[in-house]
Structures are given as structure tokens and as C-alpha cells.
Amino acid sequence: MPGAGKSSVGRQLARRLQVSFTDSDLVIEQRLGCSIRSFFEREGEARFRDVEAEVIASLAADPQTGVLATGGGAVLREGNRDVLRRQCRVVYLHSSPDDVLRRVRHDVSRPLLQVADPRQRLRELYALRDPLYRATAHFVVETGRPSIAMLVNTISMQLEMADASAGGASPS
């Protein structure tokens, strides 16, 4: 979900794992030469999702990509879900709509939440996306109110346990 902590947790996880961190939204903005919000307003969501799919496929295929944080809507495309599930280890940072609203209520850079009733919009997004996140994820981590450090520890332990049971395969 938007505001679940993908970028914040992802940066710290990459630091812990000593790998690179990439935020697909930043790569998209660099590619577009403008903010996602302005592109979204000018070109619409469908065109944005096309660009997003191209970027995610490219990043997932790149062996130099360590920890990748995608936009919250990346799972809306089946192709993105397939690429992420096959080529990455996906961690779903599960946040309730109320937790998300508490974190992002003052953030005007999120185009999907610039509506009259952001709480209702988050509930709608959650109803649509939660099953897709769960179907894509290898791990689900409850965000609730733990600190970023605690979330990173939880994810690190899950990755270590998965490596041990898989015979030491490296994370992507």
C-alpha cells in the first residue's frame, strides 16, 4: 500500500544486507523527466502503468538490483506480479488502511490519495490490492507500529531462514 514503508524499510534493509537499494518510482521519474504526479495527471494511470511495467521488468532482470521498492500499484498488472514472483523475493509490508492514513495524511505527492475521502480511497485500494500483494509475496510482514529497525530485523530473519532451508541461495 502507499505509505506502508517500502522505501524507508527498503533502504535500511539494503544497508543491512550490503546491497544496492532501488526505488522503482524514482527510476520512473528519472526516465520520464518529471514527477509521477504530473505524468499521472497529464497522461493518465494506464500510461503510467505501462512505463512502470517496463521499469520493473528491467530492474528485476538486472543482477545489480539488490533491494527493490516498487510503487504500491505495481501488483495491478499480472505481468508485474509474475516478474516479481519469479525473479525476486517479495516482501509484503502489510498495513491497514488506518495505519497508512496515519502515515500519509499530509503527503500531497500521492496522486491516488488526492480525493475528498482518502480513508475510503485507502479502503478501496486495500480491498483490491491486498489479495494481489498476498499472491505475489513470498513473505508477509505486519507493519503496525514497529520501528523501521524492527521491521528490517524481521525481514532479515525471514530471508536468512529461507536461505537456510533453500541451501543458501542468495536473495535478489
Rounded distance between C-alpha atoms, residue 123 and residue 33, angstroms: 31
Q: How many helices (H) and strands (E) does the chain have?
A: 8, 4
168 has pLDDT over 60: no
Domains in the chain with CATH codes: 6-157 (3.40.50.300)
Residue 32 has pLDDT above 80, yes or no: yes
Q: pTM value?
A: 0.87
What is the per-residue pLDDT across 94-142, written as a single tens digit (0 to 9) for each?
A: 999 999 888 877 666 666 677 778 889 999 999 999 999 999 999 999 9
pLDDT digits (tens, 9 = 90+) for 72-99: 899 999 999 999 999 999 999 999 999 9
